[in-house]
Amino acid sequence: MTRMRAADAAVAILVKEGAIEAFGLPGAAINPFYSAMRANGGIRHTLARHVEGAAHMADGYTRAADGNIGICIGTSGPAGTDMITGLYAAWADSLPILCITGQAPVAKLHKEDFQAVDIETIAKPLTKMAMTVMEGAQVPGAFQKAFQLMREGRPGPVLIDLPIDVQQTEIEFDIDAYEPLPIAKPVTSRRQAEKAIDMLTASAHPVIVAGGGIINAGASAQLVEFAEVLGIPVIPTLMGWGTIPDDHELNAGMAGLQTSHRYGNATLLASDFVIGIGNRWANRHTGSVDKYTEGRTFVHVDIEPTQIGRVFAPDLGIVSDAGAALDAFLEVARERSMSGTLPDYSAWADESRERRATLQRKTHYDDVPMKPQRVYEEMNRAFGKDTTYVTTIGLSQIAGAQLLHVFGPRKWINAAQAGPLGWTGPAALGVVRGKPGETVVALSGDYDFQFMIEELAVGAQHKLPYIHVVVNNSYLGLIRQAQRGFEMDFEVSLAFENINSPHVEGSTANGYGVDHVKVAEGLGCRAIRVERPEDLAAAFAEARSLIEQYQVPVVVEAILERVTNIPMGTELDNVNEFGELAVTSEDAPTAIRSLAKV
């Protein structure tokens, strides 16, 4: 055994557990932990400008890193409360991040000491565990349990609060004798798999709804093979986008009220059987349960027992890790394929492809100021299949999900359920840490971009290159569109005459307010403003060149028309399209023209 401070034991455990990427800000109450990180040397730390930003960086890293867990570190008091939005975003999307906070001395708790807040109680509803560790000897066990909980069952975040005197307490600890706790995952039985395949093959028009649990399980290849063996369409959810590539012939598109495709909704409505794997029937995917379930039989697979029946009762519920379920389903499906007892679903799959070929939204507009659809069209042309997109809520995210293309798991990094504004920029920095050398493209509206714009300086300081596309209409666009139902346009405009940005003859950006180019450059990054659609391709090419040259974030600001309504509705069968249907190949999104014969 070795005698060491509890803080040193905690850092040694992080390294052994493989959690070696941290984001945070030091402070008086967490300085012992920082000294332990400095002495150990096994953890890379990225200095954020805001603790909420650090939490989103850890979140983005976890989503990108395929199995590794990001760490967020802050001092006592407001550092912990700043983390709460980050914990919420991770909790809502089933992502494990470890938040570590400093705390006042144990003897000063409950005495209203400086920056002594009960962060354990505050964080508990948004974590799998929130714990203020009161004894130094408890530190190793607390971290050991944290990693087990973050990885087991439905993944999620943990917060560990360390009083400053606890961090400095000397304990006996041997890191060589430390072992991670075992991770138990429920597994689909053979009987359950046979029952699910029996129900599926009894139907005429089955579809697979592929959720984010498949990505968490690293089971996207099994999902594609399962669909191919059966020959049936796949409808990915927003969190499951990338489980099957967008150019795969069995990708039927997303269904839902906002982040969906016309052809995805049409195929789901034409189906008579749905097997949902690793999904949770979110309301913006389903719309009303009655419409969504009408005339369909459902099998639901989820790793968390309480998810089964939470939204509606499936005809068969299976509690299982998504990867284990797909392995079991594949075994049964392969056997039946070899014996020639699987139905022929080729005509049904052809119907799905025909919908995709004829229900494309138009993207090719030459208007000035630009329409957002043209920006996404040019992004599809400019960025290849290796691109990872990062975004959060807003019309920018909704339109991006409708029009961009994703070709693999963990290539669509999206704060889906919580959707906190400001998440995109810091999360993109975490993604760059998790995917070094890969092309990372963030997408923000102007309001999301302004929320945590200071984190651009982190990318400049730490040489974290990515392209940040800002679609700027100087509006809270999603809220403005929602206010149409109240016949108002109230307190949602961000436009003003900026006294530091003189009027430029012919510019469409006049009166748009914040000069994002100047702000980005002031924070140590490069920025390009685009006002005409024919200039987008060159701007994206220049941005790629600049990130290679300078290794810093590069902002591409696209000046849009002030008002564009993006398709959305209240039911799968009444989405208001607003825009036009693509009628020529030039009008359709480029990446799937081989499938969309328009």
Q: What are 274's two structure tokens?
A: 């749905």
Q: What does the pLDDT read at residue 585? A: 55
Lowest mean pLDDT among 107-116, 345-354, 379-388, 470-479: 107-116
What span, in angstroms and rounded, lies between the C-alpha atoms of 339 and 377? Answer: 45
Which residues does residue 316 pair with via DSSP β-bridges, in sequence order? 299
Banded pLDDT at 590 (limits 50, 70, 90):
very low
Banded pLDDT at 583 (limits 50, 70, 90):
low
Q: Are 250 and 227 in contact (CB under 8 A)?
A: yes
Of 2.40.50.140, 1.10.4190.10, 2.40.40.20, 3.40.50.970, which CATH number belongs to 2-177?
A: 3.40.50.970
What span, in angstroms and rounded, lies between the C-alpha atoms of 303 and 322? Answer: 7
Task: Say which DSSP state 72 is in.
Answer: E
Residue 584 has pLDDT above 70, yes or no: no
What span, in angstroms and rounded, lies between the C-alpha atoms of 531 and 332? Answer: 55
Q: What does the pLDDT read at residue 587? A: 61
Query: Three-state DSSP class for 439?
Result: coil
CA angle 215, 219, 221 (to 5 degrees): 115
Query: Three-state DSSP class for 282?
Result: coil
Q: Are 231 and 201 in contact (CB under 8 A)?
A: no
What span, in angstroms and rounded, lies between the C-alpha atoms of 472 and 512? Answer: 8
Q: What mean pLDDT value characterizes the chain?
A: 94
Strands 412-414 and 440-445: unpaired
Q: Return left, alpha or beta for 522; rule: phi > 0 is left, psi -120 to 50 is alpha, else beta.
A: alpha
pLDDT in tens, 532-544: 999 999 999 999 9
Place of tokens 């012919």: 506
At the topology level, CATH places domain 372-566 in: Rossmann fold (3.40.50)
How confident is the model over 179-195, as a mean pLDDT? 97
Q: What does the pLDDT read at residue 107? A: 86
Please state which CATH class domain 190-358 belongs to: alpha beta
Residue 544: name the closest of 556, 533, 534, 535 by CA.
556
State how far the alpha carbon of 366 is from the alpha carbons of 49, 384, 393, 400, 560, in Å.
39, 23, 26, 18, 12
pLDDT in tens, 47-84: 999 999 999 999 999 999 988 999 999 999 999 999 99
Cis geometry, peptide bond prior to residue 369 (ω within 30 degrees of 0): yes
Higher pLDDT, 510 or 210: 210
Query: Three-state DSSP class for 555?
Result: strand
What span, in angstroms and rounded, lies between the C-alpha atoms of 268 and 208? Answer: 9
Strands 97-103 and 526-530: unpaired
pLDDT in tens, 400-430: 999 999 999 999 999 998 889 999 999 999 9
Residue 591 has pLDDT above 60, yes or no: no
How confident is the model over 120-130, as a mean pLDDT? 97
Residue 387: name the closest of 75, 64, 169 by CA.
64
Q: What percent of the chain has pLDDT over 70?
A: 97
Residue 442 has pLDDT above 90, yes or no: yes
H or E stretch including 517? helix 516-522
Q: Do domains 190-358 and 372-566 have the same CATH topology?
A: yes
The residue ranges of every structural domain in the chain are: 2-177, 190-358, 372-566
Task: Say which DSSP state 106 is in.
Answer: G
What span, in angstroms and rounded, lies between the C-alpha atoms of 553 and 449? Answer: 13
Residue 410: name the closest of 93, 15, 109 by CA.
93
Lowest mean pLDDT among 53-57, 194-198, 471-475: 471-475
Q: Rounded to 10 degrees, what is the CA torsion of 172, 176, 178, 184?
A: 180
Q: What does the pLDDT read at residue 594? A: 42
Query: Three-state DSSP class for 251?
Result: strand
